[in-house]
């Protein structure tokens, strides 16, 4: 399996004034983790071309796009969580372009194509804040949604798997009424953005295309592996996608500070290995410290090596109950 990374120094130009968890240091952590595992090689790095403002209109409303463009060259806060700096506009356009390049390469050449981008995007809906979210959650434009739109245009259908610790509410909102985009989302229950519950299955005519797994607080590898085995892999097998968009957040790793999840390298290696039969466009979302140094390379190595560790699991009662509920709801739409 091949690995290529779409990356540009321009992603560092989206930067806060003072402390903010979403800052350029995140890229340092990610690159350090990849380098220490022999996965960062200059020959693997590809410079992405930026998307155009008109490209953004495929997933966002023009008024929202113009609002972001109008802040170019200045620093301000869109909301209490989300800032715009002088370099944000160009960085965000390049992030969307990298997501498009990753999915196009995955379709054409197979392998894993990582869009190591900032600013992140999966909380950004068509007009900014999505559903009942109070903020944009550090996001500007929805890179994963644009990758999914590109995949759908090329192949007629798209699959997005989002394992960021927070629900990808923006992605879900953008494709809520689109049954041709299957969105599978594992996330911690009852935290920001307070959406993505079991009965959120898609709008009229798209029911079953949205598969949400709101996992219990303090979920472990065993809990996530259960959900992955029972729901994620069977839905993928039934869908038979030509490529998969992965909205990849690593903030559920034990030691990250924004959630209570207790995942380790084991789950991320397992997830990567079980996806090794599919070409992947991996779009960087959350993760702020140790998760980037340990979970990101574990996921990539799992994919490249393709071997699944044979070992029993002991999921919690709460995780079993969550998975059972999702199975009962989704069996109307899937053979699971």
| Mean pLDDT (10-residue bins), the chain, 336 residues | 94 97 98 98 95 98 98 95 98 98 96 98 98 96 98 96 98 98 98 98 97 98 98 97 97 96 98 97 98 98 90 95 98 95
- Give the residue among 94, 44, 104 at the shortest CA–CA distance from 280: 104
| b/e code 139-156 from CB counts within 10 Å (16+ = b) | bbbbbbbbbbbbbbeeee
Q: Which pLDDT does position 309 carry in this prediction?
A: 78
Helix ranges, the chain (H): 25-36, 53-56, 62-70, 88-109, 143-155, 169-174, 221-227, 233-239, 265-274, 290-305, 317-330
**Contact 184/232 with Cβ under 8 angstroms?**
yes
Q: Which pLDDT does position 308 carry in this prediction?
A: 83
The two most distant CA atoms of the chain are separated, in Å, by: 54
Distance CA(58)–CA(126), nearest Å, equals 9
Length of the chain: 336
Distance CA(297)–CA(309), nearest Å, equals 16
Distance CA(96)–CA(50), nearest Å, equals 7
- Domains, in order of start, for the chain: 3-330 (3.40.800.20)
Catalytic residue, candidates 60, 122, 123, 166: 123
Sole residue written with tokens 């969580």: 81
Structure tokens at 323: 């998975």
The radius of gyration computed from the CA coordinates of the chain, to the nearest angstrom, equals 18
Other CB atoms within 10 A of residue 280 CB:
27
**Contact 87/10 with Cβ under 8 angstroms?**
yes
The model's pTM: 0.97
Task: List, in order, residues 6 or more apart from 306 with CB less than 8 Å away.
Answer: 1, 273, 276
What would the pLDDT profile of 236-285 be if each residue is shown by its tens digit? 999 999 999 999 999 999 999 899 999 999 999 999 999 999 999 999 99
Q: Which pLDDT does position 23 carry in this prediction?
A: 98
Distance CA(27)–CA(55), nearest Å, equals 25
What would the pLDDT profile of 166-192 be if each residue is shown by its tens digit? 999 999 999 999 999 999 999 999 999
Distance CA(167)–CA(194), nearest Å, equals 8
Sole residue written with tokens 């209490």: 80
Burial of 257 by CB count in 10 Å (0-12 exposed, 13-18 middle, 19+ buried)?
Answer: exposed
Q: What angle do CA 165, 170, 174 make, to 5 degrees?
A: 140
Active site residue 123: yes
**Contact 103/151 with Cβ under 8 angstroms?**
yes
């Amino acid at each position: 399996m091949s690995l290529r990374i779409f990356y540009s120094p321009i992603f560092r130009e989206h930067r806060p004034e003072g402390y903010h968890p979403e800052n350029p240091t995140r890229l340092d952590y990610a690159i350090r983790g990849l380098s220490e595992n022999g996965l960062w090689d200059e020959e693997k790095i590809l410079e992405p071309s930026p998307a155009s403002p008109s490209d953004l209109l495929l997933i966002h409303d023009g008024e929202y796009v113009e609002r972001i463009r109008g802040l170019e060259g200045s620093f301000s806060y869109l909301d209490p969580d989300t800032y715009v700096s002088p370099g944000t506009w160009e960085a965000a356009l390049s992030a969307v372009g990298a997501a498009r390049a990753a999915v196009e390469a995955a379709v054409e050449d197979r392998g894993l194509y990582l869009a190591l981008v900032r600013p992140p995007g999966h909380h950004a809906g068509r007009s900014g804040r999505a559903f009942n979210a109070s903020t944009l959650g550090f996001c500007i434009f929805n890179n994963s949604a644009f990758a999914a739109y590109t995949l759908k245009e090329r192949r007629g259908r798209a699959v997005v798997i989002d394992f960021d610790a927070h629900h990808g509410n923006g992605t879900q909102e953008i494709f809520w009424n689109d049954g041709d985009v299957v969105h599978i989302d594992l996330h911690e229950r009852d935290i920001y953005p307070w959406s993505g519950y079991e009965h959120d299955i898609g709008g009229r005519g798209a029911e079953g295309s949205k598969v949400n797994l709101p996992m219990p607080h303090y979920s472990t590898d065993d809990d996530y592996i259960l959900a992955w085995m029972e729901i994620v892999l069977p839905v993928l097998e039934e869908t038979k996608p030509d490529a998969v968009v992965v909205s990849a957040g690593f903030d559920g790793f034990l030691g990250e500070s924004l959630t209570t999840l207790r995942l380790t390298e084991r789950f991320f290696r397992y997830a990567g290995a079980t996806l090794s039969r599919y070409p992947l466009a991996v779009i960087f979302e959350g993760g702020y410290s140790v998760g980037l140094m340990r979970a990101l390379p574990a996921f990539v190595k799992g994919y490249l090596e393709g071997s699944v560790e044979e070992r029993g699991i002991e999921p919690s009662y709460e995780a079993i109950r969550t998975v059972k509920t999702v199975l009962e709801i989704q069996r109307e739409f899937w053979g699971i």
